[in-house]
Structure 1
Amino acid sequence: MATTPDGGRPDEWARHWQYPGVPGLDLLRARYVRHAFSRHSHEGYVLGAVRRGIEDVVMPEGTIRARPGTVVMINPEVPHSAHAGVPEGWSYATLYPSAGLVAAIAEEETSLRGTVAFGETIVDDESTARLISAVHRAAEEGNALAADSLLRVAVARLLRRHGRSLPQRAPRSAGARTAAAAREALLDRMAAPPTLEQLARELGTSPFALLRAFKAAYGMPPHTWLTNARVRAARRLLESGTAPGEAAVVVGFTDQPHLNRHFTRIVGVPPGAYQRERARTYKTGGAGRP
């Protein structure tokens, strides 16, 4: 079942779901016009193929224009946002393979070792874009063999052409250590976080020094990062069956409308629709839109 992102725009629809036949994969197929994704990041990878229109994706290095025939590749924890690049918006198919799934494909099918990443954010690759859409079609038809096969072919192809192994991490600087400590403090006190001044004082630094260190480490200021972390935590609660209103309070949002607004702007669908998809048993197609 597809849903409108805000529950009431008939020209926009989205389906964000998991297909049990391919563990470690989330799927999003949608058409957006006025909807915009706020700045966020993912724990796994993003592989997107626009079918119609143009999506503007705002990356740390600048804005890229995703058109039909291109593939967008975003690595884990890279902050980004997105919005329509033309008045008529865009429709697309996106795959969210987990880090473990991509690592397993890299080890089996490439010479890449260690932590792998895509060296480019967008490439012209119409055949792989079609493969990404084909994974969606196979999953919606309940064809696990085809969905799994097509996904592995697409990921392996992109890794061979554009993948690289990340170098081992250098020792953290003092600023990076401060940012990491701030991150852990925010995770521990997600429902009642300190102010920037309080957090800086606890960590023995100044508010602006902490702000600069955190943005350098995570690509977002602490308050934006915390909203993203709260939505991630809410997703896990929704997947376990927690009601959206209860999940909102647990992760620190004021109420369910507060959760709805931020969840939709990051995930692409409202929390209720997200939870309903997780609770379904997928057998055949007909649940999405063309």
Structure 2
Amino acid sequence: MRADRLVSLVLLLRRHGRLTADALARELEVSPRTVLRDIEALSAAGVPVYAERGRHGGFALLPGFRTELTGLNHDEALALLVAGSRRGAQVFGLGSALASAMLKVADALPESYRATADEAARRLLIDPETDLLSRRQVAEEVPDAVVTEVRRAVFAGHKLRIHYAVPGQAPEWRTVDPIGLVTVRDQGYLLATRSGADRTYRLSRVLAAEELSEPAQRPERVDLDRAWQERSTRFRSGGDQVTVLVRVDPARRADLVDTALAVHTEETDADGRLRLEVSFQDPWHAEWALWQLATNAEALAPQWLRTSLRERGAAIAACYGEPS
């Protein structure tokens, strides 16, 4: 770990020119005393780092102490820098590694690419933490020890023991054969098999994990994108799905269809409204989707959904009624 920190320290000085011990400590997440010891170690190893005293002093490298990566063109460098801003690596516990890698790439770029690529990357924002309505996109937190153990088992091809918590049930230990890791909207999933059957585990529900020495029973090659699509299809086709008959304003058809799992039938009524038979994941999903459309859609069946929406509307009306 110290070797990695020493490399990062050199790269920080290369990129910024001069930094104080406090600034380096913040970047490296260590104490200023540790930074000073690292500076001494670098000097002893022959790295030309020197100190400048005074108000604007700090540590710097002798000019020209640099290597260049000449195999990248400008667009390739830009792509790497933009990729470094994605939060997916955080889900898999690789955030610090990705930041270090991006620092190394930026440092090694030819001088002619460095400034333009860095400026261009500042004008591209990928997956901000909030959307236009200021709703914060909250990433699920997974302990580093857990995600590191899971990641090791996936890469090494070893069996994995996980202490998994299913909502409403007591957590239990399971031994699985890990296949790969997937992140969707900052939520991490482990794709695995258990006793030969496909299983998908949410990383945030893994309370503890242990990589085993026994080889995992899995194919040598895997198409994760295809595997994820197949599991998503099975998930949508199972569970407590409900089918609903809906009349909807044509202007809001897209909003309805976007929230539904599938559209089974569609026709146009005499008044121009559309009549669709659609499926939702479960009763809560159906009620939520229809509530979003307000009076632009009407659930014709089943009756329990009409009753539920009417009671919800009545409760809202009562809440905002005239005060007594």
Query: Which band: TM-score by shorter chain?
Result: under 0.3
Q: TM-score, normalised by structure 2?
A: 0.21
Larger radius of gyration: 2
Q: TM-score, normalised by structure 1?
A: 0.23
- Structure with greater contact order relative to length (CA < 8 Å, sep ≥ 6): 1
